[in-house]
Every structure is written in structure tokens, then in C-alpha cells.
Amino acid sequence: MSDSAQPIVSLRDVTRTYAQGKTEVLALRGVSLEIFPGELTVLSGPSGSGKTTALNLIGALDRPTSGSVRVDGHELATLSRGELSELRRDRIGFVFQAYNLVPILTAYENAEVVMALQGIDAKARRARVMGLLAQVGLEGLEDRRPDEMSGGQQQRVAIARALAAKPAIVLADEPTANVDSETAEALLNLMEQLNRELKVTFLFSTHDPRVMARARRLIRMVDGRIVEDKVQG
């Protein structure tokens, strides 16, 4: 990564505590990290180490207890709810662990939902979404409803939806946790390919050692802290 490029994501001394009854859970205990355009970064760590919390903060779905979160040049603390919503719509793609899709919409319609919200006209949407669905390997399945697709296919639709609005970064929280290892492998290949060919910036979390092994940049978290951040060969 060139040091002159502006980071898409920049976390500085971020903490996030949850009140759980009378005790406080320190989910993040001072996290700083930067993510640059074109990176494919894996956030790893055992369950409960703070991966989801970090992704939610970067995704403008949550606010930190202290510290600063900047995404695409915006200090999130200064944005209103509506502005956060627009930032998510226009600059961030989401792939959740499961149940990503709207059951009554077809693969095509699910993939175009964000573009439709942006007010992009139907023709332009069609061109882009059909291309993306082909790219994620769903050619011919455009009219399937979620319940007519496998878990892996559903995640592919979610990836297509995340990419449709041309976001600055795609966040995926354990996208392979609910699929078998073969499918996980394929999804991983897909994200690597999209990263390579379309220069999509990915940040996804996992606690699967096989996935970690394939990461180019691997950030390891333990107990709400980053304990390792390395670029692998």
C-alpha cells in the first residue's frame, strides 16, 4: 500500500463498552487501524474478541464509546442519523452472516435494491446488476427467490447487492460461517477475484483458520485489542 493514499477507514483509540446488567463489557479496548483502497483485509480472532463490534462501528451502524471512526473522509461522530444512513447506502456494502435477503424479492431485485434507493434508473440498474450477478456466478438464477437458492448462492446475491452501489468498502461479518467449507472456499475465491479484478476493498471477519491462512492482510484480535496486523505472502 502506498502511504500517500488516503485511508478509506481509519480508527483511532476506539473503545466500545456494553452495559450488561451491572457490569460493563469492554468489547473494544482501544483499537486503531487504517484500511486503504484496494485492500482485502481479514479480521480474525476468537469468538467474543470484538470483530463484529469493530465492523459495526466501521459500518456506521453503531457509535464508539470513545475514540474516532472515519470512513471515506467523514468523522462519523459528526454525522446525523440520516447522513449515516446515506453513507451506508452510498459508500458501504454489507454482507451479513445470514438472512441478508428480502424473501419476497428475486435474486435480481435483492441485488438492485440499493441502486433503486439511490434513484438510479431501471435501465442502468439492469445493466449493472445483470453483470454483477454473472460475475458472482449466478447467471440464469436472477429470478430465483431466496428460498429457492442455497446458502452459498444467497451469500453471492448479498455480495452482488453490496457491490451494486459501487461502495468504497465492502464489510462482511463472518460471511462464510453459515456455509459448508467447499462453499466457503468458493466465496473466498470470489471475493479475492472481485478484489483483484474490480479493485473492490474488502474487510471481512472470520474465526476460521483456513480462511485466515489465505488472507493477504490479517488483523488478529484478542479481548478487544489488535494483537497482530500483518501482510502475508
Partner 1 sequence: MNLPRMAWRNVFRNARRSAVTISAMTVALAALLVLSGLIRGLYLGMERDLVELELGDVQVHAPGYRNRPSIYERLEAPDSIIAPLEAAGFRVSSRLRGSGLAAGAKESAGAQLIGLDPARDATVSDIGTKVAEGRWLEVSDARGVVIGRKLAKSLHVGVGDTLLLLSTAADGSMANELYTVRGVLGPVGDGLDRSAVFLVQQTLRELLELPEGVHQLIVRRPPTVPLLDAKAAVVAAAPGQDVNTWKELMPTVAQLLQSTEGSMMLMFLVVYLAVGIVVLNAMLMAVFERIREFGVLKAVGVKPRTVVALVFLEGAAQTAIAVGLGLLLAVPALLYLSTTGIDVGSMSAASLGGATFSQHWVAVLDRQTFTGPIGALAFVVSVAIGYPALKAARLDPLEAIHHR
Residue 52 vs 193, nearer CB to Mg ion: 52
* Binding range to ligand ADP, per CB under 6 A, among 5-13, 19-27, 89-97, 130-138: 19-27
Residue 162 vs 215, nearer CB to partner 1: 162
Q: Which residues bind partner 1 (CB under 8 A)?
A: 56, 59, 61-62, 82, 85-86, 88-90, 94, 96, 99-105, 109, 112-114, 116-117, 161
Q: Give the Cα separation of 141 and 137 in Å (integer).
A: 9
Q: Give the Cα separation of 178 and 14 in Å (integer).
A: 29
Q: How far is the CB of 26 from ligand ADP (least distance, A)?
A: 8
Residue 17 vs 52, nearer CB to Mg ion: 52
Helix axes 151-164, 181-198, angle to 10 degrees: 20
Q: Pairing relation of β-strands 169-173 and 92-95?
A: parallel
Q: How far is the CB of 204 from Mg ion (least distance, A)?
A: 11
User: Going edge to edge, which strands form the sheet with 9-20?
Assistant: 23-35, 9-20, 66-71, 74-75
Q: Answer with the entry of Mg ion, ligand ADP, partner 1, none that 161 interacts with (C-beta below 5 to 8 A by kind).
A: partner 1
* Residue nearest to Mg ion according to CB distances in the complex: 52
Q: Give the Cα separation of 61 and 92 in Å (integer).
A: 11
Contact pick of 8, 10, 11, 51 for ligand ADP (by CB under 6 A): 51
Interactions with Mg ion, residue window 30-69 (CB under 5 A): 52
